[in-house]
Amino acid sequence: MNLKIAVLPGDGIGPEISRQGVDVMTAVCEKFGHSVDYRYGICGADAIDKVGDPFPQETYETCLWADAVLFSAVGDPKFDNNPNAKVRPEQGLLAMRKKLGLFANIRPVETFDCLIHKSPLRAELVEGADFICIRELTGGMYFGEKYEDNERAYDTNAYTRAEIERILRVAYSYALRRRKHLTVVDKANVLASSRLWRKVAQEIATEYPDVTTDYMYVDNAAMRMIQEPRFFDVMVTENTFGDILTDEGSVISGSMGLLPSASTGEKTPVFEPIHGSWPQAKGLNIANPLAQILSVAMLFEYFDLIEEGALIRKAVNASLDENVRTPEIQVEGGAKYGTKEVGEWIVEYIKKA
């Protein structure tokens, strides 16, 4: 296969983990006889500084050229506490999602046995937890009508039947390949938009008799996720609820630095870590590259290159088993590996496999 990849390193630790992701991708392509072309694009604060736009047209065109986007992270503290900033790095991410029509965000929450002790939850609760959150990504409050002056402001949480239906179908396709249990998360006791979600979900559910569908209010789901994370198999929810629940879900595993995600929809799909740009760690070679490397595994799997993805997962597990770990997950007294060293170890493992 010939793969065209747009690489968007972004801000903070983005460029460091991006490099490791690209090196792993190249190693896997060499191993399996695929050719790969990379083109780089600027985004986020980096692109604001350079051209005044967090998702410039040229970067958009690079994404359209590509079969897939390998994205890292955007964000810079100089924008965070300034509500008057006219343009922010995060707008670049939102523009990318909207312009590429990436309505389905797939965020798996997995646990790694050797890292269970890092979880804020007790091991007996979290062991074996394995679920996927399917977050709607191009609708709801993020993109609905907005108004803002000094006395009054609002965001509109609008959804159409078609938007709800297409994300539900993605969720069912995952549920059918897994444990056949879908939880639809909403706030139908209060919100009109949620009532439409539930109405559409109840209709669609009849088309998937092999899947057990249940419905849960978002406040209850937030609680259940920490009380009994193993309850969940696939959950599907709207944009804002999904944003909140996936941060909650991501720490269950013990490190945010381990979880990848995929955003798919109408145009080029995007693969990226769940974590942000961690500006304080920029240039220190301490950020965990595993979420980025696992997002490369998801990228291969998206193109049905299953063995390629499996080899990356195997290499990642081996690095954890061998204690080749970045500082935040290293065992007491163990050697601390840098971003680059973990990446290089994984590349070597792949070459030798």
Q: How far is the CB of 90 from ligand IPM (least distance, A)?
A: 4
By rule CB under 6 A, what count of residues binds ligand IPM?
Answer: 3
User: What 3-state class would DSSP assign to 38?
Assistant: strand
* Closest by CA position to 184, among listed 118, 233, 124: 233
Q: What does the buried/exposed string (b/e) look like for 172-196 if buried means 16 or more CB atoms within 10 Å of the residue's CB?
A: bebbeeeeebbbbbbbbeeeebbeb
- Closest to Mg ion by CB, 137 vs 204, is 137
Which is catalytic among the residues 243, 282, 302, 340?
243
Told to judge if 219 belongs to the known catalytic residues of this protein, a careful annotator would answer: yes
Tokens 């062991």 -> residue: 127
Q: How far is the CB of 243 from ligand IPM (least distance, A)?
A: 5
Query: Across-strand partners of 68?
Result: 5
CB atoms within 10 A of CB 227: 10
- Give the type of residue at 134: I
- Closest to ligand IPM by CB, 93 vs 281, is 93
When CB distances to Mg ion are compared, the closest residue is 243
Which is catalytic among the residues 40, 219, 321, 351?
219
Q: Assess 93 for contact with ligand IPM (CB under 6 A).
A: yes
- Residues making contact with Mg ion (CB under 5 A): 243
Q: How far is the CB of 93 from ligand IPM (least distance, A)?
A: 5
147 vs 38: CA distance, rounded Å: 40
Q: How far is the CB of 94 from ligand IPM (least distance, A)?
A: 6
- Closest to ligand IPM by CB, 97 vs 325, is 97
- Closest to ligand IPM by CB, 97 vs 187, is 97
Which is catalytic among the residues 155, 247, 302, 340?
247
Told to judge if 186 belongs to the known catalytic residues of this protein, a careful annotator would answer: no
| Contact indicator for 153, 147 with CB cutoff of 8 Å | yes
Tokens 């907005």 -> residue: 146
Q: Assess 243 for contact with ligand IPM (CB under 6 A).
A: yes
Tokens 């609820």 -> residue: 241
Told to judge if 337 belongs to the known catalytic residues of this protein, a careful annotator would answer: no
Where on the chain is the footprint of ligand IPM (CB under 6 A)? Answer: 90, 93, 243
